[in-house]
Amino acid sequence: MELGTCSWTLGLKDLEQLMSKVKSLGLDGLHFCEKLTDYSPIDVKEIAERYGLKIFAIDPFYAKPENSSEATLPNAISYYSEVIDFAVEANSPWVTLQALPKWTVNCSSEAEKYTFLAEACKKLDAYAKLKKVKLVYEAVNRYESSIMHTALECRNFLDQLEHHEIKIVLDSFHMNIEEADAVKAIQETGDQLASYHISDSNRGGIGSGHIDFIQHFKTLQSINFNGPVIIEVVLPHLAPSTPPRNSREWEQLDNEIKRSVSVWQELG
């Protein structure tokens, strides 16, 4: 299993600094989770390659409309089509879609939201196939998304889409909030699982909370999972989207990530 991280957890906006930091942590690559209009995809590709890193996914962290009047189905499809184009040029195989519900703010019911998401996913999947890019959808907890919080909800939704190739991402932190049985969720997702994200129950590294990562690891092995594992940790004393603020916190985060890398590798 290749190991990576999400760029948003580091808060480094300079590409050289970002890639250098990811490499120093002993990782194989990253999810690029930034405001894409601030970057050239060619620069992302070339600087990642210079450090021997993979861009596992283009995972836009700022993927919501600027105001509610822009939250329409055509605008959502247009936005994510541009993300797919960015992925092609950045040599990234995946684009993540879990921010799509942010575009459903004008929907008057949950049923209307699901219809919106289904239409968007079908259009985007067709476009992604033409561009030879895969789409993935992460089950995100209720405090960060208005819809589709569990593995089962994602599977049921995707099962209704014909001839799609959209896979699922599961995150130990989100599962700790939403799943009655995280191990069962991993088992039942099976070969639909594209990637597994690591953060403990307090958003920290492995062992800082109460998640049973040994059982998660064994379950991933049992379903023959071979996708990338993304270590997406935040220092437990910081707010969920706050990167390190000083040298002491950088040292703490580096240690959390390196320790989690070591533990995960030893499990293997």
Encode the chain (268 residues) as per-residue pLDDT tens digits: 899 999 999 999 999 999 999 999 999 999 999 999 999 999 999 999 999 999 999 999 889 999 999 999 999 999 999 999 999 999 999 999 999 999 999 999 999 999 999 999 999 999 999 999 999 999 999 999 889 999 999 999 999 998 899 999 999 999 999 999 999 999 999 999 999 999 999 999 999 999 999 999 999 999 999 999 999 999 988 877 788 999 999 999 999 999 999 999 999 8
Annotate 116-183 with DSSP letters as a single string: HHHHHHHHHHHHHHHHT-EEEEE---TTT-SS--SHHHHHHHHHTSTT---EEEEEHHHHHHH-S-HH
Partners of 197 in the beta sheet? 171, 230
* Residue 237: how many other CB atoms lie within 10 Å: 11
| Residue 208, pLDDT score | 93
| Residue 93, pLDDT score | 97
Domains annotated for the chain, with CATH where assigned, are 3-267 (3.20.20.150)
Residue with tokens 């995972």: 59
CA distance 252 to 94: 30
Residue with tokens 């196939």: 129
CA dihedral of 71, 130, 44, 72, whole degrees rounded to 10:
0
94 φ, ψ to 5°?
-130, 155
| Residue 162, pLDDT score | 83
| Residue 248, pLDDT score | 95
Q: Which helix (H) or strand (E) holds 261?
A: helix 247-267
| Residue 239, pLDDT score | 75
| Residue 163, pLDDT score | 82
Residue 46: CA count within 13 A, CB half-sphere: 5
CB 143 within 8 Å of CB 173: no
